[in-house]
Every structure is written in structure tokens, then in C-alpha cells.
Amino acid sequence: MELLIQIVPLLLIVAVMYFLLLRPQKKREKEIQEMRNNLQIGDEVTTAGGIVGRVVSLREDTLVIETGSDRAKIRIKRWAVQGNETLHDEPDSAK
């Protein structure tokens, strides 16, 4: 009985840490991966290094972005895209 009393608080701490730390992190990672998979030509993206550009070409795991006024093109990996500033209409999945 004493062993059970000692283990229950430990299990509660693990459960609280899961719901406060791990679960939101996994949800955020899933959203970022979905954003990277839904990139389209013409989207304005920001890379993990802070480079801002417009998507010119998409491939399976790389994309080409155009940056600056001189239209320099840079090929980057899809995982390096940190954010997409272009707003798209959400498809109606409720129908």
C-alpha cells in the first residue's frame, strides 16, 4: 500500500508533463509539417535562417525561392521553411 502511495504522485507528474509539454509540441510539429506539404508556387515564405522569398518551383523535398529586388533564386530544403505568410482559403472539409 505504501508503494502505491509513492508511485501515484510520480505518475501524476508524468501525466501532467505529457499534457502540458509534449502534446502541444507534437501538435505544433504536425501543423508545421502540414504547412510545408501545402506550399504552392507564389507563396511568400520565411526560412529557418530568416530569408524571405517567394516560391518559384516545388519539388519533392526541395523548393526554389526568389529573393530581393534583383530576383536572386535560392534552392532550399522543404524542412527549412519556417513560415508561410500567404493566406489561402481553407477547403470546406465539413461538407
For the segment 43-68, the average pLDDT, to the nearest whole number, is 94
Asked if 55 contacts 81 with a C-beta cutoff of 8 angstroms, the reply is no
Whether the pLDDT of residue 95 is over 50: the answer is: no
Of 3.90.1300.10, 3.40.50.1220, 2.30.30.60, 2.40.50.140, which CATH number belongs to 40-85? 2.30.30.60
pLDDT tens digits, one per residue of 57-78: 999 999 999 998 898 999 999 9
C-alpha dihedral, 81 to 45 to 27 to 10, nearest 10°: 60
Max intra-chain CA distance, the chain: 74
Confidence of residue 92 (pLDDT cuts 50, 70, 90): low
Count CB neighbours of 46 within 10 A.
16
Query: pTM surpassing 0.75?
Result: no
